[in-house]
């Protein structure tokens, strides 16, 4: 009987050892790399904003992305965002710079948000003179099936008093 008990104990230990070895490893923590990827995208986005090309601007959004901008309805979809931004980009005085001051990635590796400050110059419709606005923004990015990061929601508001 002791021999059977020893055999059963060895068999149990072998099964437990195999079971423990098959436990999947936790996914790697990619948060720092994900935040850096989005910061790199925002650097490229600022450079592309200078080109005043609506197609380039819209390329930073997911197909189902949303723009939540002051003074208008929510823009749903890349095409709506492109159509709404085109007149602003056509303004000869338009310029935009923005820089992230805080970004955070999800543990799951599928979402990053970025918040920061912006400076935008455009033509005042009343005076026809350039006016500069400063404010803050918040953009939420999701990782796409191809591994790229695209804006799924983008909003900003001015520091100017209302």
Alpha helices in the chain (DSSP H): 2-21, 31-49, 54-58, 78-90
Q: What percentage of the chain reaches a pLDDT higher than 70? A: 85
Cα–Cα distance measured from residue 11 to residue 108, given in angstroms and rounded to the nearest whole number: 37
Given pLDDT bands bounded at 50, 70 and 90, which one contains residue 100? Answer: very high
Q: Tens digit of pLDDT for each residue in 24-74?
A: 777 789 999 999 999 999 999 999 999 999 999 999 999 999 999 998 999
Q: For each of the domains in the chain, give its residue range(s) and CATH number, in order of start.
A: 30-158 (3.10.450.50)
Task: Report the 3 state secondary structure along 88-146.
Answer: HHHCCCCEEEEEEEEEEECCCCCEEEEEEEEEEEEECCCCCCEEEEEEEEEEEEEECCC
Name the pTM for this structure: 0.83
Residues 6+ apart with CB under 8 A from 83: 54
Task: Tell which residue, 73, 84, 68, 89, has the closest CA to residue 138.
Answer: 68
């Amino acid at each position: 009987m002791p021999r059977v008990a020893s055999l059963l104990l060895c068999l149990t230990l072998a099964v437990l050892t195999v079971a423990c070895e098959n436990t999947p490893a936790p996914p790697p923590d990619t948060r720092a790399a994900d935040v850096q990827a989005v910061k790199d995208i925002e650097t490229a986005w600022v450079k592309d904003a200078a080109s005043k090309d609506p197609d380039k601007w819209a390329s930073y959004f997911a197909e189902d992305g949303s723009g939540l901008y002051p003074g208008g309805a929510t823009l749903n979809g890349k095409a709506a965002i492109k159509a709404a931004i085109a007149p602003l980009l056509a303004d000869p005085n338009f310029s935009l710079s923005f820089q992230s001051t805080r970004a955070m990635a999800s543990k799951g590796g599928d979402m990053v948000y970025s918040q920061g400050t912006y400076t935008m110059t455009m033509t005042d419709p009343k005076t026809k003179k350039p006016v500069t606005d400063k404010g803050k923004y918040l953009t939420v990015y999701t990782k796409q099936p191809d591994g790229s990061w695209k804006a799924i929601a983008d909003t900003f508001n001015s520091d100017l008093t209302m």
